[in-house]
A and B are shown apart, each in its own frame.
Chain A
């Protein structure tokens, strides 16, 4: 599954992002946006993330996947609406729909846990 190579890229980025926070910083939650038009299955992503995060700063972190509903605008009538991921024609005009959302595959943010910065350890 390509989710594994995506999860590995995701973890490389998480490690990069956490570096400035020192060796003890950990990722506790990882927020991902997945558009409904992507061939990325949330379950597979969860499985691969869990496997790929073993031994990394994100081991045990929660992967929060936000599924983005596809939206598009008809090139004819200009009407904007949610679209079915298998239907890219305007139901009114039978003309193509231009995509506005639904193709995301984005690491949006990371919740990082650091030891108390005041050094109270």
Chain B
């Protein structure tokens, strides 16, 4: 799909701006307003417009046609949500805690895994790698001797996120009954992965200090969907003009409940905070399933 993401983001930023919005009726609960709109628009009335539209629809020669509006109320995310819900149930039964790692490309997801895998002690872990083009990340993780399954999104028309069914299939390639934790490295993108529930227990978003402090305001959804934000590559801070307090304030604006941890996979700074969060969440999940 050829589409200018910057253009789209710029447009999208205009979304929530209330002034001048052309749908004041939606201040009422939206469900109420819409029944009134449902009506037969041109039930076979012998008007010229009917004939025209019948032609457009590909009929041979003029004919009468009836137009009816039917109410549907189909949530476009439901399909994926249902798949995610059954995967979540399956993982719960197996006692597997799944973490969906999301970020823009290069924020340090694979580096975080490289730093994390050797430090997990007795926790039995596996990784699903959602890189589109290559299996480079899976190869980087091979030395750690944990199961790694590569997910290829290419053949499914989507190249920007992992959908739940692909993740569910990949999970079945893992020895789930022998695992405690599965990391899902999502495709590098701050927009699309935010929309797709993968049946994970927690979503974690990574943001490196080489990206802007305003990223949370540009891509609020991913920060709203996540339980934890990892500010990565803090070893680079001395070389940058990065305003950490402003980033933290922006994170709080879009998600007042978001936990924030700063770390460097390179220097190891902050890794204990991340591992502490991980073992707290994992411990909680294990206790809950007893």
Contact = CB atoms under 8 A, between A and B. Distances in A.
A39 B256 contact: no
A84 B17 CA distance: 6
Contacts of B239: none
Interface string A7-21: 011100100010000
Contacts of B158: 2, 4-5
A63 interface: no
Which residue among B37, B53, B68, B160 has the maximum number of chain A CB atoms within 10 Å of its CB? B68
Given A44-B8, A69-B26, A1 B66 contact: no
Contact of B26 (A5, A13, A68): A68
A44 B3 CA distance: 7
A108 B217 contact: no
B85 interface: no
B85 to A, nearest CB: 16
B183 interface: no
A106 interface: yes
A2 B29 CA distance: 28
B69 A109 contact: yes
A40 B53 CA distance: 30
Given A67-B23, A82-B18, A83-B16, A39 B191 contact: yes
Interface residues of B, number: 71
Interface string A38-68: 1111111001100100000000100000111
A86 B64 contact: no
B119 interface: no
A77 B254 CA distance: 19
Contacts of A104: 30
A111 B41 contact: yes
Contacts of B72: 13, 17, 107-110
24 contacts: A3-B1, A4-B157, A9-B76, A10-B74, A26-B57, A38-B195, A39-B191, A39-B195, A39-B222, A67-B23, A70-B16, A86-B220, A87-B253, A88-B254, A96-B256, A101-B30, A106-B74, A109-B72, A110-B69, A110-B70, A111-B67, A113-B53, A113-B67, A114-B68
A9 to B, nearest CB: 5
Nearest to A47: B3
B12 A2 contact: no
B38 interface: yes
Nearest to B66: A114
A48 B44 CA distance: 31
Overall SS of chain B's interface: mixed
Given A26-B57, A96-B256, A2 B160 contact: yes
Interface of A: 1-6, 8-10, 13, 17, 24, 26, 28-29, 31, 33, 36-44, 47-48, 51, 60, 66-71, 82-89, 95-96, 101-102, 104-118, 120-121
Closest 7 CB pairs of A and B: A85-B16, A2-B192, A116-B64, A36-B15, A82-B18, A41-B8, A96-B256
B105 to A, nearest CB: 15
B130 interface: no
B76 A67 contact: no
Given A2-B195, A88-B253, A37 B73 contact: no
B219 interface: yes
B160 A42 contact: no
B27 A71 contact: yes
Nearest to B25: A66
Interface string B214-252: 001101111010000000000000000000000000101
